[in-house]
Amino acid sequence: MQWRTTMTLIALLAMVAPAIGAEAGPGAEAAHRAEIEAWRAARVERLKQPEGWLSLVGLHWLAEGSQTVGRAPDNDVVLAVGPDRLGTLTLADRRVRLALADGVDARIGDTDAREGDLVADSAGTPTVVRFGRASFVLIERSGRFGLRVRDPEAPTRTGFVGIDHYPIDPAWRIEARFEPHPEGRTIEIASVINTLEPMANPGALVFEFGGKTHRLEAIDDGSGQLFLIFADRTNGRETYGPGRFLYAAMPEDGRTTLDFNRAYNPPCAFNAYSTCPLPPPENRLDLAVTAGERRYDGPHRAAASGRAPR
């Protein structure tokens, strides 16, 4: 999944940050603040990249068989940007092949071929189909194939208003106890596109806050850290409605740190064309996590030419 690739980049950034605890001395709070500010700045820069999450303008699920694709309304798959007729896509036996229309200025991956198979994100690095300033890749979710379309001139990118945060608060940097699960255990994770996917669930993180014990089920997404999808009592009012993401270092001696100052919005908070995972029921905290990213109030839907992609 492409969101996993992005999550891995975020996790790697977290891994290189210095470990700062209460025992680090009087400069620990200032160092922690500098660490979080640097992390926030790097995250915004990633979002603003021409092919980042802010550039999404379409998500189109493919049907079996052949279908035309392009901007003209008589196509089977109507794009928000690009030529009137880009070409024809054929989905058969889990294989997706694109034949470009005659005379169209487009490129399939790094080749000059006018026809070729597309690699989905589930099978490795997806094939990028470029046409003018825009592009799309093939994604797979629970056996369904779709096109994820990007345009660097998307209103969600050109109109990006930045990210609002709660004040950095070291009180939200909390030591947690890791409770391992039996090897091979998974947890079912739902998504905003109504899929359900089993994900590796190596254990839970248990922590104390506000005089109560709280628990979060952790996911191993291959990033080298523990991935947490959680909801809390700020959702829908102060923070993104469905929930937020957080990474924690792999435990050492059964302990790790949850720094909720690093809690961040999923891609779906910024556009309508992502396939974000949702917090499992076990990760709905009876707690208002007043740390990390707040609700995003900038443009959420990119509609080139005033027409929303279907």
How do residues 200-222 score in pLDDT, each as one tens digit? Answer: 999 999 999 999 999 999 999 99
Dist. CA 143–CA 120, nearest whole Å: 11
Residue 71, both tokens: 């901007």
- Assess whether pLDDT exceeds 90 at residue 249: yes
Residues 40 and 182 in one domain: yes
- Report yes or no on 237 lying in a domain: yes
- Assess whether pLDDT exceeds 60 at residue 5: no
Domain boundary residue among 158, 185, 218?
Answer: 158
Count of domains for the chain:
2
- Assess whether pLDDT exceeds 90 at residue 14: no
Residues 98 and 201 in one domain: no
Predicted confidence at residue 300, as pLDDT, reads 80
Q: What order of strands is seen across the sheet that includes strand 173-180? A: 244-249, 225-230, 212-220, 203-209, 173-180, 255-259
Read off φ and ψ for residue 3, nearest 5 degrees: -60, -30
Residues 253 and 266 in one domain: yes
Dist. CA 271–CA 42, nearest whole Å: 20
Predicted confidence at residue 24, as pLDDT, reads 53
Domain boundary residue among 110, 142, 158?
Answer: 158
Report, as an integer, the average pLDDT of 285-303: 89
Residues 147 and 207 in one domain: no
- Assess whether pLDDT exceeds 80 at residue 23: no
Domain boundaries, position 100 = 53-158
Dist. CA 276–CA 147, nearest whole Å: 15
* Residue 146 vs residues 43, 46, 122, 149, 216: alpha-carbon distances, Å: 26, 24, 12, 10, 32
- Report yes or no on 272 lying in a domain: yes
pTM: 0.87
Residues 141 and 181 in one domain: no
Report, as an integer, the average pLDDT of 121-137: 97
**Model confidence pLDDT, tens digit, residues 24-61:** 556 889 999 999 999 999 999 999 999 999 999 999 99
Report, as an integer, the average pLDDT of 167-175: 98
Dist. CA 15–CA 193, nearest whole Å: 30
Helix (H) or strand (E) holding 29: helix 28-47
Residues 258 and 190 in one domain: yes
> Is-contact 92 65, C-beta < 8 A?
yes
- Assess whether pLDDT exceeds 80 at residue 302: no
Residues 87 and 224 in one domain: no
- β-pairing, 87-92 vs 115-117, is unpaired
Report, as an integer, the average pLDDT of 174-186: 98
